[in-house]
Homo-oligomer: A and B are copies of this chain.
Amino acid sequence: MAARKRQSRNKASDGGERAFLAAYDASAFPHPSVAVDVALVTIVEGALRAVLVRREEHPAKGAWALPGGFVGMDESLDAAAARVLATKVGVEGVFVEQLYTFGAVKRDPRTRVIAVAYYALVHPGLLERAPLNGNTVLAELAVPWRGESGGDVGAVRPEGGRLKLAFDHAAMLGLVVLRLRGKLDYAPIGFELLPRHFTLRQLQEVHETILGKRLNKDSFRRRMLASGRIRATGRREADVGHRPAALYRFARRTKR
């Protein structure tokens, strides 16, 4: 689906055309800058949450923003997103996918900045190693439940109140939720929010959290088992005060 290309850093070597290329170097003219903003999303306590960092500088100083950074001349967009995740949040090797590119003229009051938004999914257990200091927060994404009124999809609230978000980052988070909802049925994104081994109930809770509505337990179970995307591990959960559920893991191939 999303073209995820990993580009090797082969250095430029167009010998004969160099003079020509220089003449067409678009960077000689003023043009927009490009940044990546990454929404690192997880689920804690039954709510979608995203990592936000407090801006130390103008513009929007003091507001909360998605971790981001400008795209270097020699790194791909995907690489820039991974770098931002590793540098600013300390997370590596997680699911990352491009979301949308925001290009309104005045979205950044400084200069013209085009932002390529990414979203990443991670099991909260992996976030424990990433220190969330005072300048970083795991904010709950407001996802109105079925029948529940009020609240924009994806708007952010910390613990009841509402955080002021910089730039158009609130729109980015709203789009993340919509994208997750749209892809949940046909893309293996639910598993990214769970540990390697999980129960069917845990998987259902992830789906319910993303979709913002309750699902029928039996139908969900049948659908998942028939999808061929999960495989029984033969193990069971432990230390629960009742019959333990079977543990499954994600199966890459759709076997039928």
List the interface of chain A (C-beta within 8 A of B): 1-3, 5-7, 9-10, 12-14, 17, 20-21, 24-27, 30-34, 57-59, 70-78, 80, 98, 100-106, 109-114, 116, 171, 175, 178, 182, 186
A-B contacts besides A21-B59, A32-B34, 9 pairs, CB < 8 Å? A1-B182, A7-B104, A7-B106, A14-B109, A21-B110, A34-B114, A75-B105, A103-B116, A182-B186
Label chain A's interface by main secondary structure. Answer: loop
* In the A-B complex, the 6 residue pairs with the closest CB atoms: A77-B103, A26-B33, A7-B104, A101-B101, A21-B110, A7-B105
Q: A13-B109, A17-B58 are in contact. Are A71 and B27 (CB under 8 A)?
A: no
Contact of A111 among B27, B32, B80, B105 (CB under 8 A): B27
A30 CA to B54 CA, complexed, in Å: 27
B residues near A70, Cβ cutoff 8 Å: 26, 31
Contact of A73 among B25, B30, B71 (CB under 8 A): B30
Q: A26-B33, A110-B24, A114-B77 are in contact. Are A101 and B98 (CB under 8 A)?
A: yes
B residues near A20, Cβ cutoff 8 Å: 58
B residues near A6, Cβ cutoff 8 Å: 30, 111
A124 CA to B225 CA, complexed, in Å: 45
Least CB separation from A71: chain B residue: B32
Contact of A103 among B25, B33, B76 (CB under 8 A): B76
Least CB separation from A3: chain B residue: B171
Contact of A1 among B9, B33, B71, B178 (CB under 8 A): B178
Least CB separation from A70: chain B residue: B26
Nearest CB in chain B: distance from A182 CB, A: 8
